Structure 1
């Protein structure tokens, strides 16, 4: 097929932007990834790899490689294939993105992704008010505020913690472009627009209201602030900028908390209640009401997952048998509450330890911390913030077993890797090996 380099690059980057934006919608995004792969298969001759890009590709594909190496541990062949299928994007993205690393337009992709995703969430926020008035009226009257973010996420077909992980990254990117607009001297109109988009994206993080996402968004703001402001401006400008940012964020947070009093309970008494009942949740009266989303439940799950993992060393129980074996262990240890609701591990390191044994956490560390290395090496606030967000999110959840975590991280890992390759190697320095 005859397609000019300029048009190929334009279409290629449009695909990346669209996949990133639609990542919160599993079925459309899956279809788009397939179309993206077919498009690249038509232009296989354009792919070029170096030793560095191949090494990065192996790092990105490491969870898939681990699944293949330990496939024999699965009790069910068909269930093993289903588990393997989830990780296929970790092969497609590094091959087709890193193979075209010189064509990846990093800033442009992040800029369009963060702005369009914010606009898309605004559309679905308005839709929520129009099509779910009974829920809106209930929340406006202060009833069942704990479920608000989860119900909104359900209308999009995604789990609230996963949605808010995406939204936290969007908010961080939007703040980056607020500072970016000042560094490149954009017009006041554009600067104001970027600031409004940032404020809107942070509001959505508050609206969905999951604890780790809010923590990660605020941590990301600090990372962006220090890396983008301190290295460019004097102390006075830094203090002025920090003051303005602090006032804006505090005002948004104050207004939201005033309208959502449950938030005060959620981040204090609800989160840290009954910590003396770790592993003994059935001793709590009505645990569904009192500790369903509390830290004690997560720690009780982690305790069980650790105990079972130690028994199943060195190679674990297999990728398709992790959840069934954990649920069975709940029953064996007479933990009826955990068994009734079949809680997964909610920790990616423990999840892979249970499934793959000793190699599991090693691969998780390799996968996540390579992202951190790319950010550190480039001194890039967006990449470092993504690393911190994905690392901490996987301490309290297991996003490498879900499409919205696997494809999300695999896509951005490949984009970050391409940007790193652009900065670190040139055609003059490194001759492609393929």
Structure 2
């Protein structure tokens, strides 16, 4: 027998119906609460609007099929990901005082859309729109830094690296993702790139690197240091210890490109001779056209200055009047030196001419007789020697180049014009043309 309460049968849920009239096993409204304990067996939203069969927002769909139970404009799955309550349209309590409250104090949201308007990072985009689409049940994280987009601003750039926080994998480091960022202190010298004259710390100022065509943010932009060392952020070399760009010498004249580029002229590398080729591309030691002017200061280092000469003479000593040629006894006796012999004090010639071995086996009128020293002298001042060359004399009197056998001699570095020509021999008197030739 059930105990009476104030003379009446027990009513567990206080709905005016005694327990003996309400089933302890049936759930008439499908709200998950047995009738005997349910204050309203006909309304699935009582006592809990979150019940699966409750149509909390009155849109004709029960919660178990409705994708937006509280009708706040934000899907339930997005609210779960955001951490707001899918059964409370004002779960973030931004709408104060609350309006349009639903059953048991839970806001239905038929007219209050606070959760759909909340903008936590104040970038003008609601949290809900920045959260969707979900990825693995979590809110979207565009930069994959572990902070969802709705918590990172799409308009702020906290570290000043030119990338908005929502897209920046590290909002506190201006060197990530790019060391080229103006606010990054790439070389760690205490100066950000926008004020540092040498961002990568390679010893070459940024303006000079730009003029040279190297990368002011990569100390080894010419890739001369292989394998690379001391790499900086995202694979760019900082250059604290590697100074390749400052050591590069493209023209091989012993002066680095950076040194030859400076000072800049209107933002371009120095061009001493004004030929359109900067000094760092023209050697200060080489003379391409052999005109006696180094390429770096030669406005035309491609045009070879050259005087050509064909010369015929006879030496009295070996001359044979019968054949009217000279004897080649020195050759047949292997007495012709391989190297030019005019290095003694009397002549003071320092040339390095060497005879082509096959010439010493030549017979007939073209057989070599001996070395002679040919000089080109100034037309106005004959004592001034402009060029000299040790050559071989053939039996018929033709003079030939010792290295090639050619009978046309070339004297480079001389401008075309008139010159005196002299011929000197070790044991004959020298001779000179009576007047300038050529």
Q: TM-score range by the shorter chain?
A: under 0.3
Question: TM-score normalized by structure 2?
Answer: 0.17
Kindly indicate which of the two structures has a greater share of residues assigned to helix.
1
Structure with larger Rg = 2
Kindly indicate which of the two structures has a greater share of residues assigned to strand.
2
